[in-house]
Structure 1
Amino acid sequence: MIWLAAFLAVLAVLMAAPAPRLLSGATFRLSSPWTAMLLWQAMALAGGLSLIGAPLVFGLIPFGDSVPSAVAEVLRLVRAVDYGALEDRHVSPVHLFSLCLAVLLAGHLLLTLLRTSTRTLAARRRHRDLVRLLSSPAHGGSPERGTPVEGSGTGRRAALIIDHEIPLAYCLPGVTAARSMTVLSQGMLDALGAEDLDAVVAHEHTHLQQRHHLLTMAFEAWYRALPWLPTTRYGREAVLELTEMLADDGALRDHPREALVRSLALGAPASEATTDETSSDGPLAAAHHDDLQVTAARLRRLLSPPPQMGRTARGAVVVLAASLMVVPTAMLLIV
């Protein structure tokens, strides 16, 4: 199994820096953000799996000819408390260190994901409670403050209004669609016309419909677990950018391009509240933090639409993404 450990180690190195750096600057992300998003997810899975798999496979070499049989043998020895068999199998301290490293890495990644998810969900719950207290429904309607209601048929019908002079628009995802909400500030209503507001809210609704918060939360947890790894930093930044582009595409299906451009030019950020727990300035500031580079990329894309990505190129990227997800997994389970 030494060749499998070497293969996974090489894959881990490639996924750690060279591949993310190339993908973060790839121009096709502008014309086909969903394709780039798929590839980022595949790279994250392949990177994490190879990072854990390389030391795991190396540590299992003395215990069997395949990963499944070696894992079964290790579990048998642990249950039997037969540690004397380690010497008979020529298990060195390096093998034991590799096994411990793999287990610790896997545990660290899972615990960080759990911690990030818990803190994010709690922050969103507090944020929703605050918005319900401080907001009013768009277009009147329900006497219960903060309850989204159907209105006049525009995109604002599901928006809540907060009394804030700075133009702001964002969404707060919930466990169910009924608990999700889109929030506009009074400054936004004063700065934009009806057509522009509808486009902005359609952008936010796309975030909720496509569940972008799950992607950003996963990549945020990945970054928090391994902040020293270049791929986690590139991945987090790329996913934030790509989700905004995907939301723009969703809004453009029913609204003119100029409406989104005007909303960005007037400083009305359209983002989802997925970083509440990372901010020390309060949930409102965190929810509306709009990275300047992401905004600039969105403006360039809206003002000068890139040429569409060809079917052959899209197919090649999809095949590459599928290979990154399937091949390392299959090799660990079969070889």
Structure 2
Amino acid sequence: MVLWQAIALAGGLSMVGAPIVYGLAPLGASVPESLGAAATLALAENTAAAAPPELRAWHIFALCAGVLLAGHLLLTLARTYFRVLGARRRHRQLVDLLSTPLTNTRDEADTQVIEHQTPLAYCLPGRTHASSVTVLSRGLLETLSAPELEAVVAHEQTHLRQRHHLLTMAFEAWYRALPWLPTNRYGREAVLELTEMLADDGALRHCSPETLLRSLALSSVEAPQQPEAPIGESRDCSDGPGTPAALITGARLQRLLAPPAPLGPLATSSTLLASAALLGVPTGLLLLS
């Protein structure tokens, strides 16, 4: 997860920084010097006369492209955030109206039950963990045993405690800003799968792998494909139990059937160093160019 975040941040910084640095290059020997010269040039009465002869039209084009790309990324992230926030608020109001509390769970977050026969479980994040809510359907309660239900609740509430919706929302915004970039699509899919694996790990602290697998299988037998939801709501906390069986196969299912050995100190350190290098090296080269 750390590595994918580093890839996304390094990609964004490089895509924005490279054209800006190239556009500023004729104005100074370093980025701070070039920025100061650009500000002086922008405030000059006769910009054309004050511009150095090395400054060409393509430098201005590159500078504008970098600034526009940065604005596009930031606006897409803001738009995604506010759309998700509004949809989540409306959804929470409906849940409050149509559900009843379930009190026999060990977590401090709300657990609500909706009267629907489709086996379904998902979570609605709040500003804090205590203000978040886990939603279960009546069909799920009637399908699962008590240990299996505890596994489902632990899975969903791990999403809430670890704030997975913030990660998935950021990668969703990054994908929507530049959908033609393959790494955006791969990153979004990888992060979604990794958050589910992390939630599985949270559930496994309260149950056995067999219990979790049974809960996933039983709650996926009759569950239809979920309809398209607002940005960040369709997959950030709701594709564990209660989603089609096809969505829990592959690497995640294999990981539950045959748990791999945890990463050793060398592999963990190498991953962290690679992530730091992805962020630091390109950014440092741009600043020193």
In the superposition, the TM-score normalised over structure 2's length comes to: 0.89
Which residue does 2:167 correspond to in 1?
Answer: 215
Percent identity among equivalent residues? 56
Report the equivalent of 1:256.
208
Equivalent of 2:263, from 299, 306, 309? Answer: 309
Report the structure, 1 or 2, having the larger helix content: 1
Aligned to 1:42: 6
Q: 1:109 aligns with which of 63, 67, 73?
A: 73
Partner of 2:178: 226
Are 2:88 and 1:136 equivalent residues in the alignment?
Answer: no
Please tell me whether residue 298 in structure 1 is matched to residue 252 in structure 2: yes
The residue aligned with 1:95 is: 59
For residue 123 of structure 2, give the secondary structure of its aligned residue in structure 1: strand
Aligned to 1:20: none
Residue of structure 1 aligned with 2:114, choices 144, 149, 162: 162
Moved more, 129-138 or 169-178: 169-178
**Residues 170, 184 of structure 1: 8 Å contact kept:** yes
Cα deviation, residue 325, structure 1: 1.8
Note closer, same or farther for the CA distance 1:171–1:255 as it changes in structure 2 (3 Å cut).
same
Worse-superposed segment, 222-231 or 295-304: 295-304
Distance (whole Å) between structure 2 residues aligned to residue 291 and residue 234 of structure 1: 21
Gaps of 5+ in 1: 1-36, 139-150
Q: Is this contact kept in 2: 1:159–1:182, CA < 8 A?
A: yes
What secondary structure does 1:178 align onto?
A: coil
User: Match for 1:195 among 147, 153, 156?
Assistant: 147
Return the offset for 1:245.
Answer: 0.3
Q: Deviation string for 1:202-224 (max 9, x for gaps)? A: 11111111110100000000001
Give, in whole Å, the separation in 1 of the partners of 2:118 and 2:244. 16
Q: Distance in 2 between matches of 1:286 and 1:207?
A: 8
Q: Does 1:186 align with 2:150?
A: no
CA distance in 1, matches of 2:196, 2:16: 31
Residues 159 and 181 in structure 1, CA contact (< 8 A), matched pair in contact too: yes
Answer whether contact 1:120 1:276 (CA < 8 A) is retained.
no
Give the letter aligned to residue 210 of structure 1. Answer: Q
User: Any idea what the Cα deviations from partners look like across 1:130-156, whole Å, max 9, x if unmatched?
Assistant: 111110011xxxxxxxxxxxx345459
Give the Å deviation of 1:179.
2.2
Counterpart selection for 2:83 from 113, 116, 119: 119
Q: What value does the CA root-mean-square deviation take over the aligned residues?
A: 2.6
Q: Does 1:60 align with 2:24?
A: yes
Task: Give the secondary-structure state (helix, strand or coil) at the position aligned to 1:250.
Answer: helix
Letter in 1 for 2:277: S
Return the offset for 1:159: 1.2
Which amino acid letter does the alignment assign opposite residue 196 of structure 1?
E
- Cα distance in 1, alignment partners of residues 195 and 236 from structure 2: 17
How far residue 119 of structure 1 moved from its aligned partner, in angstroms, is: 0.1
How many pairs were matched up?
281
Give the equivalent residue in structure 2 for 1:277.
230
2:253 partner amino acid: L
- Aligned partners of 2:76 and 2:43: how far apart in 1? 29
Shift of 1:292: 5.9
- Secondary structure (helix, strand or coil) at the match of 2:130 reads helix
SS of equivalent residue, structure 1 residue 161: strand
| 1:326 aligns to 2:280 (yes or no) | yes
Shifted more, 73-82 versus 40-49: the winner is 73-82
Cα 1:81–1:244, aligned 2, differ >3 Å: closer, same or farther?
farther
